[in-house]
Amino acid sequence: MIVVEDLHKHFGGFHAVDGASLSFDEGAITGLIGPNGAGKTTLFNVIAGVHKPTSGRVTMGGEDITGLPPHDLFHKGVLRTFQIAHEFHSMSCRENLMMVPGGQSGERLWNTWFGRRRIADEERALRAKADEVLEFLTIEHLAEQKAGQISGGQKKLLELGRTMMVDARIVFLDEVGAGVNRTLLNVIGDAILRLNEERGYTFVVIEHDMDFIARLCDPVICMAEGRVLATGTLDQIKANEQVVEAYLGTGLKNRDAVSA
Amino acid sequence: MDFLNAFVSLSNYVLIPGVAYGSQLALGALGVTLVYGILRFSNFAHGDTMAFGAMVTVLVTWWLQSLGVSLGPLPTALLALPVGILGTIVLLLVTDRAVYQFYREKKAKPVILVIVSMGVMFIMNGIVRFVIGPDDQRFLDGERFVVSARTFKEMTGLDEGLAIKSTQVITVITAVVVVALLFWFLNRTRAGKSMRAYSDNEDLALLSGVNPERVVMLTWIIVAALATTAGVLYGLDKSFKPFTYFQLLLPIFASAIVGGLGSPLGAIAGGFVIAFSEVTITYAWKKVLGYMMPESLAPDGLVQLLSTDYKFAVSFVILLIVLLFKPTGLFKGQSV
């Protein structure tokens, strides 16, 4: 579905993404793993339009989407969440969700005064949808709460909820599990699986929790030093010598060699 | 009786002018705070934006007056105000296209935008002086007083007179209406919420359905309306002179910062804090104290803490105190 070809992103002399080529298949939940600094988040940022790539191409269904601004990508159904949950802190959870869909008629100043009826209809539909999403994520009791006041894990759920407010085609989840307790992590995992099965969302998940990856992801892509190291099932990846080396360093391998 | 006299005198020279001046500052500070919260820089051109809006309104008022149009007891300027706002909207949108957009796309640091806004300030300043000249301009017509000092004395039989200028009443009413509209807009409408969303979290807003260019445009439109209204009200109440608007920049920024930059509620509170501090500290308390104290203790001097020449020092001092002890302001805005 999304194909990345020889992508480079350099920050000054630092090559955060250094010639990554990979693809994400339609309908799959792809896991993206790799040691810290492997360029996973930068890859996300480049695909999602936050950074312009230094060189390389990103296509979606054959269409070139390289370097499009985030809100254009958003309208094409490319959504992402953040490693550290983002929210509109001064608004309620419901308002946070209702904010998501673009192109609402209430955005135009003219309609604010002269299109009241149409705005009201739209808002009613949006509100119903937001409530449905909150229920799906089992946080309906937080609807009126200010998003700035809910817990970190709940914010992650809200992030996921945001992707459900529009018809997403592909959702990039950046460490949804970071700082989230087991119970909530399972809720998030359930939601991802259900969204994938029931609504056909394609997911790409950056995650460090291997149990979480094992439960959700197939295939798994391992990155290191800005490049793709290996692609396959989690077991294949775990067995890959290069991957072990990237995670644990060569020191361990050498010691093994010595003891053997 | 003495107590009533003292109270009337205090109202006449402190309370009523303070409320009117506070409303003007609040409207000005709201504009500053919106630009800071949404576009993320301190807009030094705000004072001269007010001057520009007021200038357009003055010109249209003169034209209407020459045609013989009037609003009866109300100043004709109220009729010209919408035109002034439109003119200012055009000015700000053109400025944004020509100047700020370039820096926004480059993601320039706020400090660069501040310097850029100073450049814009000098240009606007020049335009205003070029068109209307640096002198005082009169454009107030209609009834001068709602209650004049003499009628008040006759009515109540008190020694002290209470004068309520029509411009003061208009200022307060207009400010209340404008603020109510603004809060309704920010809290109840989708357009306003998208502005708040952009202010809360720019990254997330960009990754949702919020169109940044539209938010920026909306912000300038609202800022133009606020600035022009504030400028015209100030001009009606005092007088229109381009340089005074430049000077107003300090109390306006002080108000916005005291209230907490980025917080609309704070801007209003800050406006009144600054206005009342300025008026009470530069007021000669002789009369009030004379009524309130036994005769032997009545003061001989003016009991004026600070000459009115130093009134801008008051905002400066308050600004410093707030920045030292509560940098996020009364209503917890973004810290500076």
User: With contacts defined as CB-CB under 8 Å, which chain A residues touch B204?
Assistant: 82, 86-88
Is B332 an interface residue toward A (CB < 8 Å)? no
Question: What are the tens digits of pLDDT across the range B227-285?
Answer: 999 999 999 998 899 999 999 999 999 999 999 998 899 999 999 999 999 999 988 88
Question: How many beta-carbon pairs under 8 angstroms link A with B?
Answer: 81
Contacts of A249 (CB under 8 A, 6+ apart): none
Min CA distance, B54 vs chain A (Å)? 24
The model's pLDDT over A106-134, given as tens digits with 9 standing for 90+, comes to 777 777 777 778 888 888 888 998 998 89
Whether A102 maps to a domain, the answer reads no
CATH of the domain at A181: 3.40.50.300
User: Which helix (H) or strand (E) is B1 found in, with range?
Assistant: none
Q: Given an 8 Å threshold on Cβ–Cβ distance, is A107 in contact with B208?
A: no
The CA distance from B239 to B201, in Å, is 41
CB contact under 8 Å between B211 and A71, yes or no, is yes
Q: What pLDDT is stored for residue A260 in this prediction?
A: 42
Q: Which residues constitute the domain of residue A179? A: 2-90+152-259
For residue A5, give the amino acid letter.
E
- What is the pTM for the complete model shown? 0.83
For residue B194, tell me if it sits in a domain: yes
Residue B336 lies in a domain: no
Indicate whether A228 belongs to any domain: yes
Asked if residue B264 is part of any domain, the answer here is yes
Full strand arrangement of the beta sheet holding A170-174: A78-80, A170-174, A202-206, A29-33, A220-224, A227-232
How does pLDDT run across B58-76, given as a tens digit for each residue? 999 999 999 988 888 889 9
Residue of A nearest to B333 (CA): A90
Residues of A in contact with B208 (CB under 8 A): 71, 74, 99-100, 102, 162
By the 8 A CB rule, do A123 and A132 touch? no
Two tokens, residue B185: 């807009």
Q: Do B206 and A102 touch (CB under 8 A)?
A: no
Using a 10 angstrom Cβ sphere, with 0-12 exposed, 13-18 middle and 19 or more buried, the burial of residue B154 is exposed
Judged by CB atoms closer than 8 Å, whether chains meet at A108 and B191 is answered as: yes
Task: Specify burial of residue A182 (Cβ count, 10 A radius: 0-12, 13-18, 19+).
Answer: exposed
Count up the domains in chain B and report the number: 1
Please tell me if residue B214 touches chain A, with a CB cutoff of 8 Å: yes
**Residue B321 touches partner A, C-beta closer than 8 Å:** no
Q: Tens digits of per-residue pLDDT, A174-196?
A: 888 777 888 888 888 888 898 88
Interface list for B 180-199 with A (CB within 8 A): 185, 189-191, 193-194, 196-197
Q: Which candidate from A74, A82, A119 shows the least CB-CB separation from B209?
A: A74
Distances from the Cα of A118 to the Cαs of A105, A106, A167, B149, B209, in angstroms?
A: 8, 8, 21, 53, 18
pLDDT of B292 > 90? The answer is no
3-state secondary structure of B214: helix
- State residue B35's pLDDT score: 95
Task: Look at residue A103 and tell me if it is in a domain.
Answer: no
Computed on alpha carbons and rounded to an integer, the radius of gyration of chain B in Å comes to 21
Is A100 within a domain?
no
Q: How many domains does chain A have?
A: 1
Class of residue B37 by CB neighbours under 10 A (exposed 0-12, middle 13-18, buried 19+): buried
Q: Do the chains contact at A107 and B203, CB–CB below 8 Å?
A: no
User: What is the length of chain B?
Assistant: 336
Does a structural domain hold residue A29?
yes
- Hey, is the C-beta of B40 within 8 angstroms of any chain A C-beta? no
Which structural domain, as residue segments, surrounds residue B213? 2-325
Determine, yes or no, domain membership for A161: yes
B50 domain residue, yes or no: yes
CB-based contact B208 A74, cutoff 8 Å: yes
Query: pLDDT at position B63, please?
Result: 95
State the pLDDT at residue B209: 67
**Given an 8 Å threshold on Cβ–Cβ distance, is A86 in contact with B201?**
yes
**The complex's ipTM?**
0.73
Q: How many CB atoms lie within 10 A of CB B98?
A: 10
CATH assignment of the domain containing B76: 1.10.3470
Transcribe B128-140 into DSSP letters.
HHHHH-SS-B---
Task: Find chain A residues with C-beta within 8 A of B104's C-beta.
Answer: none
Per-residue confidence of chain A (260 residues) as pLDDT tens digits? 889 988 898 888 888 888 888 889 888 999 998 888 888 888 888 888 888 889 999 998 888 988 888 878 888 888 888 878 888 888 999 999 988 887 677 777 777 777 778 888 888 888 998 998 898 888 889 889 998 888 888 888 888 888 888 878 889 988 887 778 888 888 888 888 988 888 888 999 988 888 888 888 888 999 888 888 888 888 888 888 888 877 766 554 554 544 44
Q: Using pLDDT thresholds of 50, 70 and 90, give the confidence band for residue B336.
A: very low
| Residue B101, both tokens | 């957009």
Which one of B191, B209, B218 has the shortest CB-CB distance to A102?
B209
Q: Inter-axis angle of helices B190-200 and B212-237, to 10 degrees? A: 100
Cα nearest neighbour of A171 on chain B: B207
